[in-house]
Amino acid sequence: MRTLILPIRTARLSLREFVQSDLRAVYAYSSDPRVTRYLFFGPRDEDSTAEYLEGLLASQRERPRTRFELAVEENESGRVVGACDLSYIERNVVDLGYMLGIDVWGKGLATEIALALVDAAFFDLRADRVISTVDVNNGASIRVLEKIGMRWEAVFRKHRRAKNRWWDCHLFVLPREVWEASRVDYAPEATP
């Protein structure tokens, strides 16, 4: 089984393994109903946050590992501002997800995270396809997925029952061949 090379660094962020001391930060964003509005869980209370983090830390030791849920840490401040993940759905298909605390919304961080995760899925995990499901009403996440080159493929009606309702979700897909075609490697021009 393939694995991610961690941490994954971007211009402003470090995507790294969660540690026990991240509990307060995880609670800060996952207890906010605005953050969890379009997610199948939450908002979390302190006990469910601790239980979630324990399960997440245990998943880091699984072999083969099928879920890579990572802390999103700001490089400048060292503060954990959210979470992101890549999870195997089947052998060469990886699901991408992310969530951020409301205080960092609107700064392009979700796009930065999603681009880094897509590259990691194809480079490190050697995925054939990256997918993401998103609530049909979550316009901000839909725009992020479109911006990174994912394509709408289907609507899953009654995709999942959570929070006392059925959820309709869009399925977005990025096949390896589309990702490869979109990458342009610029070689430095030779000087005369």
Q: Specify if 74 maps to a domain.
A: yes
Pull the structure tokens for residue 10.
């971007």
Average per-residue pLDDT for the chain: 92
In-domain check, residue 20: yes
The 3-state DSSP composition of the chain as helix, strand, coil percent (nearest 5) reads 30, 35, 35
Q: Could you give the number of structural domains in the chain?
A: 1
Please report whether residue 156 resides in a domain.
no
More confident residue, 177 or 160: 177
Pairing of strands 129-135, 8-9: unpaired
The answer to whether position 73 is within a domain reads yes
Query: Has residue 184 been placed in a domain?
Result: no
How many Å from the N-terminal Cα to the C-terminal Cα in the chain?
Answer: 47
* pLDDT given for residue 189 in this prediction: 47
Q: Name the β-bridge partners of 86.
A: 68, 96
> Is 70 exceeded by the pLDDT of residue 16?
yes
Domain containing 109 equals 8-127
**φ and ψ at residue 139, rounded to 5 degrees:** -60, -40
Residue 175 pLDDT: 98
What confidence tens digit (pLDDT) does each residue in 133-154 have?
A: 999 999 999 999 999 999 999 9
Model confidence at 156, pLDDT cuts 50, 70, 90, reads confident
The three-class DSSP label of residue 130 is strand
For 90-123, the pLDDT digits (tens) are: 989 999 999 999 999 999 999 999 999 999 999 9
pLDDT value for 113: 98
pLDDT at 2: 83
pLDDT band at 185 (very low <50, low <70, confident <90, very high): low
Query: Is 62 among the domain residues?
Result: yes
Give domain status of residue 99, yes or no. Answer: yes
Task: Report the CATH number at residue 49.
Answer: 3.40.630.30
Residue 2 lies in a domain: no
